[in-house]
Amino acid sequence: MRDGVKFTIAGAKLISNAAYAEKVDQLIIEKKLINKIECNGFVKDMPSYLQSLDVLVLASWSETCPMAVLEAMAAGVPVVATDVGGVNELLRPKIEEAAGFVVPVGHADQIAEKVKVLLGDESMCEKMDWHGREAAKKYFSLEACIDAHLKIYQKSNGGLR
């Protein structure tokens, strides 16, 4: 593993996932990664936490529309995520305005490859940062959601009175 790289895991260890959390802790010890991986538990100030990251990785097997990806985009953090739920629609990896990379589920090697690409290309990170922030603002801000809802109401009701 490259020197100077540190990984963090954020999120409360839920009772419903206690066995999984224990397995993750054991793997960190077994693989001798205690000095490379920090488990933060519940994070109160998520915007500040996200802004401290160079890359957000979402290695999920199943999601709908992962808020972690949207929050990272809003914070200007490039994302490497597995192809679950709405990730492709959020990150738009196949266009110039991509906010991150999308890899197939279960391909840790491709996740690692894309993280290395981002860590080695500051210009690409800056572009993805900017595109993510702009997309989050344009499509998912409170104002954008209100406008979209108003348009639906106006269209279905023949216009608001």
The residue extents of the domains of the chain are: 44-133
pLDDT band per the 50, 70, 90 thresholds, residue 101: very high
pLDDT digits (tens, 9 = 90+) for 35-55: 999 998 899 999 999 999 999
pTM for this prediction = 0.85
Q: What is the pLDDT of residues 57-90, one digit of tens each?
A: 999 999 999 999 999 999 999 999 999 999 999 9
Tell me phi and psi for residue 98, to 5 degrees: -60, 145
| Residue 58 DSSP label | E
Rounded to whole angstroms, the Cα distance separating 96 from 63 reads 25
Binned at pLDDT 50, 70 and 90, residue 110 comes out as: very high
Here the tokens at position 125 are 């990170």
Cα(45)–Cα(118) distance, rounded to whole angstroms?
25
Give the per-residue pLDDT at 160.
Answer: 58
| Fold of the domain spanning 44-133 | Rossmann fold (3.40.50)
Q: Is 92 helix (H, G, I), strand (E, B) or coil?
A: coil
| 2, pLDDT greater than 80 | no
CB 76 within 8 A of CB 129: yes
Nearest to 61 by CA among 105, 112, 3: 105
- Of residues 107, 3, 126, 103, the one with CA closest to residue 54: 126
Tell me the pLDDT band of 6, cut-offs 50, 70 and 90. confident
The encoded tokens of residue 63 equal 């999601």
Residue-level pLDDT at 16: 80
